[in-house]
Structure formats: C-alpha cells, structure tokens
Amino acid sequence: MRLCNFRRRDAAGDLEAGVVAGESVLPLHELLGAARAMPLAPGLLPDLASLADRMASHNRGRPPVGLPLSEIVLGPPVHPVQSFRDFYAFEEHVRAARARRGLEMVPEWYEAPAFYFSNPAALLGAEAVLTPPRYGTWLDYELEIGCVIGRGGKDIDVSDAERHIAGYTIINDWSLRDVQRREMKVGLGPAKAKDFATSVGPTLVTADELGERRDGKGYDLGMRARVNGKLLSHGNWKTIHFSFAEMIAHASRGVALLPGDLLGSGTVGTGCLLELGPEVHDGWLRPGDEVELEVELLGVLRNRIGGL
C-alpha cells in the first residue's frame, strides 16, 4: 500500500488519510465505510495487514471513487509523529563529510548506529514551502530514507525488527550548516541547526511495494536530489552500512519505541551540499530554489524555499 495524509485544495480542514492508487487518492474512511475522515495516525499503524483486508472486504464489487492528486495537498504521511531519531548510517557520506573538515573516520562509528533526536513538531509535507529561520544562512538539503514504526516494542531483537516497520518514506533533513559548525565545536548537537524543519513524504510505502529489490542491508533503489531541475546527488539505498533493523534494535535498547516513531537513515553518499561543496550550486540554498528528492518506488519529495 501507499498511504498518505492529505487536505483537499478547495477546502480548509484537518488532515485525512488516503490510499494512493495511480494518479488518485482514495479517502481511507470511505474505503473502510467509516462515518468521518481520519488522519493516518499512530493508532492505525500496528495492523496495516488487517487494514488492507478490511478495505478489500468493504469495497468488494464496487470500485471506490478517488480524488485526483491535482486536487489535494499532501501532508506528512503520519500525524502526529511520536518522536524522530535521525541516524548516520551511510559510510560514504560520513567519510566524505568528515574529510572536508580534515577528519578521519573514528572506529566508534562502526560499533553501533549513531543518532540524534530532532523535532517531530516541525515536519513538512510534499509541496510545502520552507521558510528558513533568520538565525542562519548556510541552508542545505539532506537526502535520506525514513521508516515509521508500526508496532512498538522494547529491546527489539535485530532478527525481528523489520516486523515493527509500518513502511518507508523520503526525508529531507534541512540543515543550517553555519549554525551546525558552531554547535558541533561544543561537542553536543546538532540542535538548532536541525530544529526548524524536516520534510517527509510524499507517502508511506509498505515493504511489499518494494518487490524483489532487496539488496544487502537495504534495497537496490536509486536516490537522487535535484535543485532547480539540476541533478546534484545520486546514491543508492543498498549502500547503507547499518540496516533499519539494526537501527531499531539499537534505538530500542532499554526504551520502548512507539507506533508513529520516525527513524531517518542519515544522508546517502553525495546527498547534500556539505559533502559535494556548495560551489556545485553556486552557493548554499536560496529563496526561490526548488529541491526535489527522489527515491525509486518511494516517489518524489518536492519543496520550494520561501523568502527569508
């Protein structure tokens, strides 16, 4: 399934859940025969298989009527997100970003997947306009994979961890690099460099949609970033050093993960201006720039940068 949260363009209102089918979105409450619209919230995530069965049963013999994608606005595919841990799982990115600062890899990086907590209250959906804060100027994108926890648990074994995943999505971990540079000198962070916005979407894609593309610790799916139509980043999910199962097992040590928790992979190799050098874009991101992050089978996460 490809699940989403959306608003209708012609009406103000709360997010409601839908299932993407081709170029249409089918409202979930209509598929389930429910009386009113509902968002795709954490409470629906633990049993998506049952959800699919109930949808099929309710609509047997009568194809549902969908809304064209042109008539909706997509929000973050899960709302609310309970917590957001962003990892650092692609070795190519870590090595290249450290090298630009004159640093070698540290052996501790290979011992366990590192992460920091970011702000689950500052998520943007696909097509949303990002208004950067005024306290930094070196704005960067970061091309990442996200997974959403569907079934909670504590001290989850790595062999069982994938059963806790509801689905996958794309993440743009927006960053203010001048702020991050100052924060990291203190030895605690990043903090305000990442606090202001993270884009997530366009949909939540269940693992069965990824077919036979499994490869190593990830999937053989190309990852690309374009700014104003120009291809800047080109990586692949299969190059990830730590799997999402390993991230989940580590994150759940001594603490419960909850349905609706979001985990980010960290940036894929070549997946940001910090790694490539801002000169590939003639400087850092600016108002008016349009950033498109694309992952095969997961879709395109597109945002425009608004005025400061």
22/168 same-domain check: no
40/102 same-domain check: no
Task: Identify whether the C-beta of residue 24 lies closer than 8 Å to the C-beta of residue 69.
Answer: yes
Q: Give bridge partners of residue 301 from the DSSP assignment.
A: 293
89/65 same-domain check: no
- The parent domain of residue 187 ranges over 84-305
CATH of the domain at 231: 3.90.850.10
What Å distances lie between residue 286 and 21, 137, 276, CA to CA? 35, 9, 17
**End of a domain among 75, 106, 128?**
75
Q: How far is CA 207 from the centre of its chain?
A: 15
Q: What is the total count of domains within the chain?
A: 2
251/114 same-domain check: yes
- Span 78-82, average pLDDT: 91
Residue with tokens 């399934």: 1
Three-state DSSP class for residue 113: coil
pLDDT band at 308 (very low <50, low <70, confident <90, very high): low
What does pLDDT average to over the chain?
93
* Share of residues in the chain with pLDDT > 70 (%): 97
Q: How far is CA 73 from the centre of its chain?
A: 17
pLDDT (tens digit, 9 = 90+) per residue, 210-269? Answer: 989 999 999 999 999 999 999 999 999 999 999 999 999 999 999 999 999 999 999 999
- The reported pLDDT for the residue numbered 58 is 60
Alpha helices, DSSP H, located in the chain: 28-32, 48-58, 91-100, 177-186, 244-251, 273-276
If one counts every other C-beta atom within 10 angstroms of the C-beta of residue 253, the result is 10
Residue with tokens 């730590």: 242
**End of a domain among 75, 95, 115?**
75
158/286 same-domain check: yes
48/178 same-domain check: no
Three-state DSSP class for residue 148: strand
State the Cα angle at 181 between 243 and 190, rounded to 5°. Answer: 45
- Model confidence at 6: pLDDT above 90: yes
Q: What's the pTM?
A: 0.96
**End of a domain among 27, 51, 75?**
75
118/255 same-domain check: yes
- Span 2-24, average pLDDT: 89
